[in-house]
Amino acid sequence: MSDDTLKIQLPEDRIPSHWYNIAADLPVPMPPPLHPATHEPIGPDALAPLFPMALIQQEVSTERDIEIPDQVRDIYRLWRPTPLYRARRLERFLDTPAKIYYKYEGVSPSGSHKPNTAVPQAYYNRQEGIRRITTETGAGQWGSSLAFAGAQFGIEVDVYMVRVSYEQKPYRRALMETYGARCVPSPSTETEAGRQILARDPNTSGSLGIAISEAVEMAAQREDTHYALGSVLNHVLLHQTVIGQEAMVQLEMAGDYPDVVVGCTGGGSNFAGIVLPFLGAQLRGGPAVKIKACEPAACPSLTRGTYAYDFGDTGHLTPLVKMHTLGSEFVPPGFHSGGLRYHGMAPLVSHLLDQKLIEAHAYVQGLCFQAGVDFAKVEGILPAPEATHAVRGAIEEALLCKASGEAKTILFNLCGHGHFDMQAYTDFFAGKLTDDAYDADALAASLSHLPQVA
Protein backbone atom coordinates (compact mmCIF):
# COMPACT_ATOMS: atom_id res chain seq x y z
CA MET A 1 0.00 0.00 0.00
CA SER A 2 1.27 3.46 -0.84
CA ASP A 3 1.39 6.19 1.76
CA ASP A 4 -1.56 8.01 0.32
CA THR A 5 -3.97 5.07 0.28
CA LEU A 6 -7.56 6.24 -0.08
CA LYS A 7 -9.62 3.17 -0.76
CA ILE A 8 -8.81 -0.42 0.10
CA GLN A 9 -10.65 -3.03 -1.94
CA LEU A 10 -10.47 -6.77 -1.43
CA PRO A 11 -11.00 -9.36 -4.16
CA GLU A 12 -14.19 -11.48 -4.06
CA ASP A 13 -12.37 -14.49 -2.71
CA ARG A 14 -11.65 -12.54 0.47
CA ILE A 15 -15.32 -12.52 1.48
CA PRO A 16 -15.18 -14.21 4.91
CA SER A 17 -15.88 -17.95 4.87
CA HIS A 18 -17.32 -17.91 8.41
CA TRP A 19 -19.28 -15.60 10.65
CA TYR A 20 -17.57 -14.81 13.95
CA ASN A 21 -19.49 -15.75 17.10
CA ILE A 22 -18.25 -13.80 20.11
CA ALA A 23 -20.17 -16.10 22.48
CA ALA A 24 -17.10 -18.36 22.25
CA ASP A 25 -14.88 -15.65 23.73
CA LEU A 26 -17.12 -13.89 26.27
CA PRO A 27 -15.63 -13.90 29.79
CA VAL A 28 -19.16 -14.01 31.27
CA PRO A 29 -22.00 -15.68 29.33
CA MET A 30 -25.11 -13.70 28.42
CA PRO A 31 -28.27 -13.98 30.56
CA PRO A 32 -30.72 -16.34 28.78
CA PRO A 33 -34.08 -15.30 27.24
CA LEU A 34 -37.04 -16.13 29.51
CA HIS A 35 -40.56 -17.35 28.91
CA PRO A 36 -42.88 -14.34 29.41
CA ALA A 37 -45.27 -16.22 31.73
CA THR A 38 -43.10 -18.68 33.67
CA HIS A 39 -39.88 -16.62 33.65
CA GLU A 40 -37.99 -19.89 33.03
CA PRO A 41 -35.26 -19.90 30.37
CA ILE A 42 -36.82 -20.83 27.03
CA GLY A 43 -35.60 -23.72 24.92
CA PRO A 44 -35.09 -23.64 21.15
CA ASP A 45 -38.55 -25.16 20.54
CA ALA A 46 -40.27 -22.04 21.85
CA LEU A 47 -38.89 -20.09 18.89
CA ALA A 48 -39.63 -22.74 16.24
CA PRO A 49 -43.00 -21.26 15.13
CA LEU A 50 -41.19 -18.05 14.16
CA PHE A 51 -37.68 -18.97 12.99
CA PRO A 52 -35.97 -21.80 11.09
CA MET A 53 -34.02 -24.21 13.31
CA ALA A 54 -30.69 -23.27 11.70
CA LEU A 55 -31.11 -19.67 12.91
CA ILE A 56 -32.30 -20.78 16.36
CA GLN A 57 -29.15 -22.89 16.65
CA GLN A 58 -27.01 -19.90 15.68
CA GLU A 59 -28.89 -17.84 18.29
CA VAL A 60 -27.65 -20.10 21.11
CA SER A 61 -24.40 -21.36 19.60
CA THR A 62 -21.08 -21.00 21.41
CA GLU A 63 -19.05 -22.24 18.43
CA ARG A 64 -16.55 -19.53 17.44
CA ASP A 65 -16.70 -19.80 13.65
CA ILE A 66 -19.93 -20.58 11.81
CA GLU A 67 -19.62 -21.44 8.15
CA ILE A 68 -21.34 -19.16 5.64
CA PRO A 69 -23.29 -21.30 3.12
CA ASP A 70 -22.00 -21.10 -0.48
CA GLN A 71 -25.36 -19.82 -1.79
CA VAL A 72 -25.19 -16.94 0.69
CA ARG A 73 -21.60 -16.06 -0.20
CA ASP A 74 -22.61 -16.19 -3.83
CA ILE A 75 -25.19 -13.44 -3.25
CA TYR A 76 -22.79 -11.50 -0.98
CA ARG A 77 -20.55 -11.27 -4.08
CA LEU A 78 -23.02 -8.77 -5.56
CA TRP A 79 -21.59 -6.11 -3.21
CA ARG A 80 -19.00 -7.71 -0.89
CA PRO A 81 -16.25 -7.21 0.08
CA THR A 82 -17.22 -3.60 0.72
CA PRO A 83 -14.57 -0.86 0.48
CA LEU A 84 -12.64 0.58 3.39
CA TYR A 85 -11.73 4.24 2.98
CA ARG A 86 -9.10 6.37 4.63
CA ALA A 87 -10.91 9.68 5.24
CA ARG A 88 -7.96 11.88 4.32
CA ARG A 89 -10.14 14.82 3.32
CA LEU A 90 -12.08 14.65 6.57
CA GLU A 91 -8.80 14.50 8.51
CA ARG A 92 -7.59 17.65 6.74
CA PHE A 93 -10.95 19.37 7.26
CA LEU A 94 -10.76 18.64 10.99
CA ASP A 95 -7.04 19.42 11.11
CA THR A 96 -6.52 16.35 13.26
CA PRO A 97 -3.42 14.19 13.66
CA ALA A 98 -5.77 11.16 13.92
CA LYS A 99 -6.10 8.67 11.08
CA ILE A 100 -9.75 8.08 10.26
CA TYR A 101 -10.96 5.02 8.36
CA TYR A 102 -14.51 4.10 7.46
CA LYS A 103 -16.02 0.89 6.22
CA TYR A 104 -18.74 1.65 3.69
CA GLU A 105 -21.77 -0.64 3.72
CA GLY A 106 -23.85 1.65 1.48
CA VAL A 107 -22.75 -0.25 -1.65
CA SER A 108 -25.26 -3.07 -1.00
CA PRO A 109 -28.47 -3.37 -3.06
CA SER A 110 -30.60 -1.63 -0.41
CA GLY A 111 -27.87 0.85 0.55
CA SER A 112 -27.00 -0.42 4.03
CA HIS A 113 -25.54 -3.31 6.02
CA LYS A 114 -28.94 -5.01 6.37
CA PRO A 115 -28.69 -7.40 3.39
CA ASN A 116 -25.75 -9.08 5.22
CA THR A 117 -28.35 -10.76 7.42
CA ALA A 118 -31.44 -10.57 5.18
CA VAL A 119 -29.82 -12.95 2.68
CA PRO A 120 -28.89 -15.73 5.13
CA GLN A 121 -32.23 -15.37 6.91
CA ALA A 122 -34.13 -15.84 3.64
CA TYR A 123 -31.79 -18.71 2.71
CA TYR A 124 -32.36 -20.71 5.93
CA ASN A 125 -36.12 -20.11 5.75
CA ARG A 126 -36.15 -21.38 2.16
CA GLN A 127 -34.20 -24.47 3.27
CA GLU A 128 -37.03 -25.17 5.72
CA GLY A 129 -39.69 -24.79 3.01
CA ILE A 130 -41.07 -21.43 4.20
CA ARG A 131 -43.11 -19.54 1.56
CA ARG A 132 -43.72 -16.23 3.32
CA ILE A 133 -41.86 -14.03 5.81
CA THR A 134 -43.38 -11.17 7.81
CA THR A 135 -41.31 -8.40 9.30
CA GLU A 136 -41.30 -4.85 10.62
CA THR A 137 -39.32 -1.93 9.31
CA GLY A 138 -38.50 1.51 10.68
CA ALA A 139 -36.92 3.75 8.07
CA GLY A 140 -37.47 1.04 5.43
CA GLN A 141 -33.87 -0.16 5.24
CA TRP A 142 -34.66 -3.54 6.69
CA GLY A 143 -37.90 -3.96 4.75
CA SER A 144 -36.17 -3.28 1.45
CA SER A 145 -33.25 -5.56 2.37
CA LEU A 146 -35.54 -8.46 3.23
CA ALA A 147 -37.64 -7.76 0.13
CA PHE A 148 -34.47 -8.08 -1.96
CA ALA A 149 -33.44 -11.28 -0.17
CA GLY A 150 -36.95 -12.73 -0.53
CA ALA A 151 -36.84 -12.07 -4.26
CA GLN A 152 -33.53 -13.99 -4.50
CA PHE A 153 -35.12 -17.10 -2.96
CA GLY A 154 -38.74 -16.83 -4.19
CA ILE A 155 -40.19 -16.00 -0.76
CA GLU A 156 -43.13 -13.60 -0.29
CA VAL A 157 -42.37 -10.75 2.10
CA ASP A 158 -44.95 -8.74 4.10
CA VAL A 159 -43.52 -5.63 5.74
CA TYR A 160 -45.17 -3.65 8.57
CA MET A 161 -43.64 -0.19 8.30
CA VAL A 162 -43.71 2.31 11.18
CA ARG A 163 -46.32 4.87 10.11
CA VAL A 164 -44.18 7.99 10.54
CA SER A 165 -41.54 6.53 8.23
CA TYR A 166 -44.15 5.20 5.78
CA GLU A 167 -45.24 8.81 5.37
CA GLN A 168 -41.74 10.35 5.38
CA LYS A 169 -40.17 7.79 3.02
CA PRO A 170 -42.46 6.85 0.13
CA TYR A 171 -39.50 5.81 -2.04
CA ARG A 172 -38.39 3.14 0.43
CA ARG A 173 -41.85 1.65 0.09
CA ALA A 174 -41.56 1.83 -3.70
CA LEU A 175 -38.25 -0.04 -3.50
CA MET A 176 -39.84 -2.81 -1.39
CA GLU A 177 -42.64 -3.08 -3.93
CA THR A 178 -40.12 -3.20 -6.77
CA TYR A 179 -38.58 -6.27 -5.13
CA GLY A 180 -42.10 -7.74 -4.90
CA ALA A 181 -42.89 -7.20 -1.20
CA ARG A 182 -46.13 -5.91 0.32
CA CYS A 183 -45.75 -2.88 2.60
CA VAL A 184 -48.39 -1.93 5.21
CA PRO A 185 -48.30 1.16 7.48
CA SER A 186 -48.16 0.14 11.15
CA PRO A 187 -50.18 0.10 13.32
CA SER A 188 -52.62 -1.44 10.83
CA THR A 189 -56.09 -2.89 11.10
CA GLU A 190 -54.78 -6.27 9.84
CA THR A 191 -53.75 -7.47 13.29
CA GLU A 192 -55.20 -7.63 16.78
CA ALA A 193 -52.10 -5.81 18.12
CA GLY A 194 -52.51 -3.02 15.58
CA ARG A 195 -56.26 -2.63 16.15
CA GLN A 196 -55.75 -2.35 19.92
CA ILE A 197 -53.17 0.43 19.56
CA LEU A 198 -55.33 2.30 17.03
CA ALA A 199 -58.34 2.12 19.35
CA ARG A 200 -56.28 3.77 22.09
CA ASP A 201 -54.46 6.29 19.91
CA PRO A 202 -55.76 6.66 16.33
CA ASN A 203 -53.09 9.25 15.45
CA THR A 204 -50.08 7.32 16.72
CA SER A 205 -46.87 7.72 14.73
CA GLY A 206 -46.20 4.02 15.34
CA SER A 207 -43.03 2.44 16.65
CA LEU A 208 -40.80 -0.51 15.91
CA GLY A 209 -42.16 -2.24 19.01
CA ILE A 210 -45.71 -2.05 17.62
CA ALA A 211 -44.69 -3.14 14.12
CA ILE A 212 -42.85 -6.16 15.57
CA SER A 213 -46.04 -7.20 17.39
CA GLU A 214 -47.96 -7.06 14.12
CA ALA A 215 -45.41 -9.06 12.16
CA VAL A 216 -45.05 -11.71 14.91
CA GLU A 217 -48.82 -12.06 15.22
CA MET A 218 -49.19 -12.69 11.47
CA ALA A 219 -46.31 -15.20 11.37
CA ALA A 220 -47.55 -17.16 14.38
CA GLN A 221 -50.88 -17.79 12.65
CA ARG A 222 -49.59 -19.65 9.58
CA GLU A 223 -47.55 -22.82 9.14
CA ASP A 224 -45.89 -21.64 5.93
CA THR A 225 -44.97 -18.24 7.40
CA HIS A 226 -42.04 -17.19 9.54
CA TYR A 227 -40.95 -13.94 11.06
CA ALA A 228 -37.61 -12.18 10.53
CA LEU A 229 -35.94 -9.51 12.62
CA GLY A 230 -33.41 -7.09 11.16
CA SER A 231 -31.45 -6.42 14.34
CA VAL A 232 -31.21 -7.18 18.09
CA LEU A 233 -31.00 -11.01 17.99
CA ASN A 234 -27.69 -12.85 18.33
CA HIS A 235 -27.91 -14.48 14.90
CA VAL A 236 -28.44 -11.09 13.24
CA LEU A 237 -25.38 -9.62 14.95
CA LEU A 238 -23.46 -12.76 14.00
CA HIS A 239 -24.23 -12.31 10.29
CA GLN A 240 -23.02 -8.71 10.42
CA THR A 241 -19.52 -9.76 11.55
CA VAL A 242 -18.48 -9.98 7.88
CA ILE A 243 -18.07 -6.17 8.18
CA GLY A 244 -15.46 -6.19 10.93
CA GLN A 245 -13.65 -9.26 9.58
CA GLU A 246 -13.16 -7.59 6.21
CA ALA A 247 -12.13 -4.31 7.87
CA MET A 248 -9.47 -6.15 9.85
CA VAL A 249 -7.89 -7.54 6.68
CA GLN A 250 -8.14 -4.17 4.94
CA LEU A 251 -6.52 -2.32 7.84
CA GLU A 252 -3.77 -4.90 7.91
CA MET A 253 -3.13 -4.14 4.24
CA ALA A 254 -2.87 -0.47 5.20
CA GLY A 255 -0.50 -1.40 8.01
CA ASP A 256 -2.86 -0.14 10.71
CA TYR A 257 -4.90 -1.33 13.68
CA PRO A 258 -7.65 0.76 15.28
CA ASP A 259 -7.31 2.39 18.69
CA VAL A 260 -10.98 3.35 18.56
CA VAL A 261 -13.91 1.66 16.79
CA VAL A 262 -17.17 3.59 16.42
CA GLY A 263 -20.66 2.57 15.30
CA CYS A 264 -24.22 3.86 15.62
CA THR A 265 -26.71 1.80 17.57
CA GLY A 266 -30.41 1.30 16.89
CA GLY A 267 -30.83 -2.37 17.69
CA GLY A 268 -27.07 -2.87 17.70
CA SER A 269 -26.40 -4.94 14.57
CA ASN A 270 -24.16 -2.74 12.40
CA PHE A 271 -22.26 -1.70 15.52
CA ALA A 272 -21.74 -5.34 16.50
CA GLY A 273 -20.80 -6.16 12.92
CA ILE A 274 -17.82 -3.83 12.87
CA VAL A 275 -16.88 -4.13 16.53
CA LEU A 276 -17.13 -7.82 17.50
CA PRO A 277 -14.17 -9.17 15.49
CA PHE A 278 -11.89 -6.53 17.09
CA LEU A 279 -13.35 -7.09 20.55
CA GLY A 280 -12.96 -10.85 20.12
CA ALA A 281 -9.30 -10.38 19.23
CA GLN A 282 -8.89 -8.26 22.37
CA LEU A 283 -10.57 -10.92 24.52
CA ARG A 284 -8.20 -13.54 23.09
CA GLY A 285 -5.20 -11.44 24.16
CA GLY A 286 -4.89 -9.04 21.22
CA PRO A 287 -4.60 -5.24 21.33
CA ALA A 288 -7.13 -3.35 23.46
CA VAL A 289 -9.57 -1.16 21.53
CA LYS A 290 -11.82 1.63 22.76
CA ILE A 291 -15.28 0.87 21.47
CA LYS A 292 -17.90 3.56 21.18
CA ALA A 293 -21.64 3.05 20.61
CA CYS A 294 -23.38 6.21 19.35
CA GLU A 295 -27.10 6.55 19.90
CA PRO A 296 -29.71 9.30 19.46
CA ALA A 297 -30.43 11.48 22.50
CA ALA A 298 -34.15 11.14 21.69
CA CYS A 299 -34.13 7.34 22.05
CA PRO A 300 -31.22 6.70 24.45
CA SER A 301 -31.57 3.06 25.46
CA LEU A 302 -27.88 2.47 26.30
CA THR A 303 -27.24 5.73 28.15
CA ARG A 304 -30.63 6.27 29.83
CA GLY A 305 -32.36 2.89 29.74
CA THR A 306 -32.50 0.32 32.50
CA TYR A 307 -30.62 -2.97 32.11
CA ALA A 308 -33.48 -5.37 32.81
CA TYR A 309 -35.61 -8.13 31.39
CA ASP A 310 -38.18 -6.70 29.01
CA PHE A 311 -40.33 -7.56 26.03
CA GLY A 312 -38.96 -6.99 22.56
CA ASP A 313 -42.30 -5.66 21.35
CA THR A 314 -45.11 -3.39 22.51
CA GLY A 315 -47.82 -6.08 22.29
CA HIS A 316 -45.83 -8.44 24.59
CA LEU A 317 -45.73 -11.42 22.23
CA THR A 318 -41.95 -12.00 22.41
CA PRO A 319 -39.85 -13.75 25.07
CA LEU A 320 -38.26 -11.61 27.78
CA VAL A 321 -34.68 -10.65 27.07
CA LYS A 322 -32.23 -8.82 29.32
CA MET A 323 -31.28 -5.57 27.65
CA HIS A 324 -30.91 -1.84 28.07
CA THR A 325 -34.48 -0.74 27.59
CA LEU A 326 -36.65 2.36 27.72
CA GLY A 327 -39.63 0.09 28.38
CA SER A 328 -41.70 -1.59 25.70
CA GLU A 329 -44.39 1.11 25.89
CA PHE A 330 -41.94 3.89 25.10
CA VAL A 331 -42.73 5.67 21.82
CA PRO A 332 -39.81 7.94 20.88
CA PRO A 333 -40.45 11.37 19.31
CA GLY A 334 -40.68 11.29 15.50
CA PHE A 335 -37.07 12.23 14.77
CA HIS A 336 -35.42 11.44 11.47
CA SER A 337 -33.19 8.47 12.18
CA GLY A 338 -36.01 5.94 11.82
CA GLY A 339 -33.60 3.03 12.19
CA LEU A 340 -32.63 4.18 15.68
CA ARG A 341 -36.13 4.42 17.14
CA TYR A 342 -36.20 1.09 19.00
CA HIS A 343 -37.01 1.00 22.73
CA GLY A 344 -34.42 -1.68 23.51
CA MET A 345 -30.92 -2.73 22.53
CA ALA A 346 -29.45 -6.03 21.45
CA PRO A 347 -28.98 -8.22 24.55
CA LEU A 348 -25.43 -8.91 23.37
CA VAL A 349 -24.55 -5.20 23.05
CA SER A 350 -26.27 -4.54 26.40
CA HIS A 351 -24.21 -7.30 28.01
CA LEU A 352 -20.99 -5.83 26.59
CA LEU A 353 -21.87 -2.43 28.08
CA ASP A 354 -22.75 -4.03 31.40
CA GLN A 355 -19.37 -5.82 31.33
CA LYS A 356 -17.69 -2.45 30.58
CA LEU A 357 -16.21 -3.77 27.34
CA ILE A 358 -17.75 -0.88 25.39
CA GLU A 359 -18.78 2.77 25.96
CA ALA A 360 -22.03 4.48 24.98
CA HIS A 361 -22.68 8.12 23.99
CA ALA A 362 -25.90 9.90 23.02
CA TYR A 363 -26.05 12.74 20.46
CA VAL A 364 -28.81 15.17 19.49
CA GLN A 365 -29.84 14.97 15.84
CA GLY A 366 -28.84 18.52 14.87
CA LEU A 367 -25.17 17.84 15.67
CA CYS A 368 -25.35 14.53 13.84
CA PHE A 369 -26.82 16.05 10.67
CA GLN A 370 -24.18 18.78 10.75
CA ALA A 371 -21.52 16.05 10.94
CA GLY A 372 -23.24 14.25 8.05
CA VAL A 373 -23.20 17.40 5.92
CA ASP A 374 -19.55 18.13 6.74
CA PHE A 375 -18.67 14.54 5.89
CA ALA A 376 -20.60 14.61 2.60
CA LYS A 377 -18.88 17.84 1.52
CA VAL A 378 -15.37 16.49 1.99
CA GLU A 379 -15.74 12.74 1.41
CA GLY A 380 -18.59 12.84 -1.13
CA ILE A 381 -20.72 10.07 0.34
CA LEU A 382 -24.00 11.21 1.90
CA PRO A 383 -24.54 9.25 5.13
CA ALA A 384 -27.88 7.78 6.16
CA PRO A 385 -29.33 9.78 9.10
CA GLU A 386 -28.57 6.82 11.39
CA ALA A 387 -24.97 6.69 10.19
CA THR A 388 -24.46 10.39 10.98
CA HIS A 389 -24.36 9.37 14.65
CA ALA A 390 -21.25 7.29 13.95
CA VAL A 391 -19.78 10.13 11.87
CA ARG A 392 -20.39 12.46 14.81
CA GLY A 393 -18.83 10.00 17.25
CA ALA A 394 -15.75 9.57 15.05
CA ILE A 395 -15.34 13.32 14.55
CA GLU A 396 -15.53 13.83 18.31
CA GLU A 397 -12.67 11.32 18.77
CA ALA A 398 -10.64 13.04 16.04
CA LEU A 399 -11.13 16.41 17.73
CA LEU A 400 -9.97 14.93 21.06
CA CYS A 401 -6.82 13.85 19.20
CA LYS A 402 -6.43 17.36 17.86
CA ALA A 403 -6.60 18.75 21.40
CA SER A 404 -4.16 16.19 22.82
CA GLY A 405 -1.89 15.89 19.79
CA GLU A 406 -2.32 12.09 19.73
CA ALA A 407 -2.32 10.40 16.32
CA LYS A 408 -4.86 7.67 17.07
CA THR A 409 -6.35 5.40 14.44
CA ILE A 410 -10.13 5.67 14.36
CA LEU A 411 -12.36 3.23 12.48
CA PHE A 412 -16.06 3.78 12.05
CA ASN A 413 -18.86 2.04 10.23
CA LEU A 414 -20.58 4.11 7.58
CA CYS A 415 -23.48 1.69 7.64
CA GLY A 416 -25.57 3.20 4.85
CA HIS A 417 -26.12 6.03 2.39
CA GLY A 418 -28.91 8.57 2.78
CA HIS A 419 -30.21 8.75 -0.78
CA PHE A 420 -33.71 7.80 0.33
CA ASP A 421 -33.56 10.18 3.28
CA MET A 422 -33.23 13.51 1.51
CA GLN A 423 -36.36 14.89 3.18
CA ALA A 424 -34.44 14.72 6.45
CA TYR A 425 -31.57 16.73 4.97
CA THR A 426 -34.04 19.19 3.41
CA ASP A 427 -35.66 19.67 6.82
CA PHE A 428 -32.24 20.14 8.40
CA PHE A 429 -31.31 22.87 5.91
CA ALA A 430 -34.69 24.54 6.46
CA GLY A 431 -33.97 24.63 10.20
CA LYS A 432 -36.94 22.36 10.85
CA LEU A 433 -35.11 19.64 12.75
CA THR A 434 -35.60 20.11 16.44
CA ASP A 435 -33.46 18.45 19.07
CA ASP A 436 -36.54 17.06 20.78
CA ALA A 437 -35.74 15.45 24.04
CA TYR A 438 -37.79 12.38 24.81
CA ASP A 439 -40.66 12.90 27.23
CA ALA A 440 -39.08 12.20 30.64
CA ASP A 441 -42.45 11.51 32.30
CA ALA A 442 -43.42 9.06 29.56
CA LEU A 443 -40.06 7.32 29.99
CA ALA A 444 -40.50 7.04 33.76
CA ALA A 445 -44.02 5.66 33.24
CA SER A 446 -42.81 3.18 30.66
CA LEU A 447 -39.96 2.01 32.90
CA SER A 448 -42.30 1.61 35.87
CA HIS A 449 -44.12 -1.10 33.88
CA LEU A 450 -41.09 -3.31 33.24
CA PRO A 451 -41.92 -6.96 33.93
CA GLN A 452 -40.93 -8.02 37.43
CA VAL A 453 -38.39 -10.80 37.09
CA ALA A 454 -36.94 -12.30 40.24
Ligand X SMILES: *Cc1c(COP(=O)(O)O)cnc(C)c1O
Q: In the complex with ligand X, which residue's Cβ is closer, 174 or 288?
A: 174
Q: In the complex with ligand X, which residue's Cβ is closer, 269 or 409?
A: 269
Residue 12: what are its φ and ψ, rounded to 5°? Answer: -55, -35
CA atoms 422, 423, 426, 427: torsion sign = negative
Interface stretch with ligand X, choices 40-48, 50-58, 175-183, 264-272 (CB under 6 A): 264-272
Q: In the complex with ligand X, which residue's Cβ is closer, 309 or 342?
A: 342
CA–CA distances in Å: residue 204 to residues 146, 197, 200, 210, 366: 25, 8, 9, 10, 24
Out of 16, 194, 296, 416, point to the residue binding ligand X (CB under 6 A). Answer: 416
Q: In the complex with ligand X, which residue's Cβ is closer, 163 or 172?
A: 172
Distance CA(63)–CA(130), nearest Å, equals 26
Q: In the complex with ligand X, which residue's Cβ is closer, 331 or 384?
A: 384
Instruction: Check residue 266 for interaction with ligand X (CB under 6 A).
Output: yes
Distance CA(152)–CA(133), nearest Å, equals 13
Interface stretch with ligand X, choices 81-89, 211-219, 383-391, 394-402 (CB under 6 A): 383-391
Write down the least CB distance from residue 140 to ligand X, Å: 8
Out of 270, 350, 365, 409, point to the residue binding ligand X (CB under 6 A). Answer: 270
AA letter at 237: L
AA letter at 409: T
Q: In the complex with ligand X, which residue's Cβ is closer, 114 or 163?
A: 114
DSSP per-residue string spanning 419-441? TT-HHHHHHHHTT----PPP-HH
Mapping DSSP to helix (H, G, I), strand (E, B) and coil, where does residue 416 land?
strand
Out of 33, 244, 339, 393, point to the residue binding ligand X (CB under 6 A). Answer: 339
CB 31 within 8 A of CB 254: no
Mark 103-122 with x for binding to ligand X (rule: CB under 6 A) and - for no binding.
---------x-x--------
Mapping DSSP to helix (H, G, I), strand (E, B) and coil, where does residue 445 land?
helix
Write down the least CB distance from residue 288 to ligand X, Å: 24
Q: In the complex with ligand X, which residue's Cβ is closer, 130 or 340?
A: 340
Count of residues of this chain found to bind ligand X when the rule CB under 6 A is applied: 20
* Tally of residues, the chain: 454
AA letter at 187: P
Q: What angle (nearest 5°) sits at the alpha carbon of residue 112, between those of residues 390 and 383?
A: 45
Out of 108, 117, 125, 141, point to the residue binding ligand X (CB under 6 A). Answer: 141
| Residues found near ligand X in the complex (CB under 6 A) | 112, 114, 141-142, 231, 264-271, 339-340, 384, 386-387, 415-416
